[in-house]
Amino acid sequence: MSPLIAIGPDDNLQRVLDTAPAGEEIHLAQGDYRLKVLVTTPGLTIRGAGQDRTRILWDDYALRKDPAGVELNTFRTWTMAICADGVALRDLSVVNDALHPERKGQEVALTVYGDGFSMENCRLTSTQDTLFLGPLPRDLIRRYDGFLPPLLRTDCPCTQTFRHCLIEGTVDFIFGCGRALFEDCEIRSLRDERDIGYVAAPAHALEQSEGFSFLRCRFTCEEGVTPGSIYLARPWRDHGLCVFRNSTLGPHISPLGFDPWNDSGRDKTARFYEDPPVPGRVPWVRTLSDSR
């Protein structure tokens, strides 16, 4: 059956998303769609012509000021924000091309608030903080009351699935409190002037029993990344939860594997697991058998 909605780069993508009925499938033709996109309709499937052929791009960054003269802050820099349940993205790229986070601050490509989100055969590209997986830590939900709209402050269960995707960035480029599965994905670290990087920055609450899970993923890097300069994860909040299973790691990954987030003491509370275990890792990383 032909899709009910098919559009091209010259069409108003945001208007189409706002008026599409719940559960609709939207096909995006090949091309670049340069706009900031907010999805609030549940059950939409947004399908491109291929991750290298259909791209949604924007270039906001944390230190940029809005019309009122207020800095955007990390959580308003997204290129695309999913704020509805059951949304699926297929065969496209979401890009924040602001670049130079060392001078501009965080630059989110995709923000996800919503249960049952899935992404397949897609590419996410930015630098620092590429992918935010809601909800926010609860202290930030309180702090940003009146600053972020309610859609970006909801304290609700959010599950996300990523399959056969390429996700690339520099520092903390997969972060948040969502329950997310990354299956058969390529996780690619890019060069950064600071010559250090972190893949995941989980912030899960203690009562959350599932966090970020990387299954059969390939951790690769851009040419020029210093060997041993990238950490798999560091805990953004005390009880951040990350699991790495049966994944392939390049030489850019530090032999220590994980970082405690400066002198925060979170090495005592973070829940990081790696299977099979790797000799020489920090003593506070565990194997899955330790959780039983």
194-243 pLDDT, tens per residue? 999 999 999 999 999 999 999 999 999 999 999 999 999 999 999 999 99
pLDDT range class, residue 1, cuts 50, 70, 90: very low
Percent of the chain with pLDDT over 90: 95
Task: Note whether 134 and 158 are within 8 A (CB).
Answer: yes
pLDDT range class, residue 121, cuts 50, 70, 90: very high
pLDDT range class, residue 66, cuts 50, 70, 90: very high
In this model, does residue 2 exceed pLDDT 60? no
The mean per-residue pLDDT over the stretch 52-64 comes to 98
Map out the domains of the chain with their CATH numbers: 1-169 (2.160.20.10), 191-210+222-292 (no CATH)
The mean per-residue pLDDT over the stretch 151-163 comes to 94
Instruction: Report d(CA 24, CA 3) in Å as an integer.
Output: 9
Burial category of 10 from C-beta neighbours within 10 Å (exposed 0-12, middle 13-18, buried 19 and up) = exposed
Q: Output the DSSP codes for the chain.
A: ---SEEE-TTS-HHHHHHHSPTT-EEEEPSEEEES-EEE-STT-EEE-S-TTTEEEEE---TT-B-TTS-B--GGG--SEEEESTT-EEES-EEEE----HHHH----SEEEESTTEEEES-EEE-STT-EEESSPPHHHHHHTBTTB-GGGS-----EEEEES-EEEESEEEEEES-EEEEES-EEEEPP-TTS-EEEEEE---TT----EEEES-EEEE-TTPPTT-EEEE--SSTT-EEEEES-EE-TTB-TT-B---TTS-GGGT-EEEEES--TT--TT-B-GGGG-
User: Position 61: which residue type?
Assistant: Y
Q: What is the phi/psi pair of residue 226, to 5°? A: -65, 130
68-97 pLDDT, tens per residue? 999 999 999 999 999 999 999 999 999 999
**1 vs 168: which has the higher pLDDT:** 168
The mean per-residue pLDDT over the stretch 60-65 comes to 98
pLDDT value for 157 = 87
In this model, does residue 4 exceed pLDDT 90? no
pLDDT range class, residue 190, cuts 50, 70, 90: very high
pTM score, whole prediction: 0.96
pLDDT value for 288 = 82
In this model, does residue 264 exceed pLDDT 50? yes
Measured in residues, the chain has a length of: 292
Instruction: Report d(CA 91, CA 283) in Å as an integer.
Output: 40
pLDDT range class, residue 162, cuts 50, 70, 90: very high
Q: What is the phi/psi pair of residue 199, to 5°? A: -75, -65
pLDDT range class, residue 291, cuts 50, 70, 90: low
Nearest to 234 by CA among 256, 209, 207: 256
71-74, Cβ contacts within 8 angstroms, sequence gap of 24 or more: 73/144, 73/147, 74/105, 74/106, 74/108, 74/129, 74/132
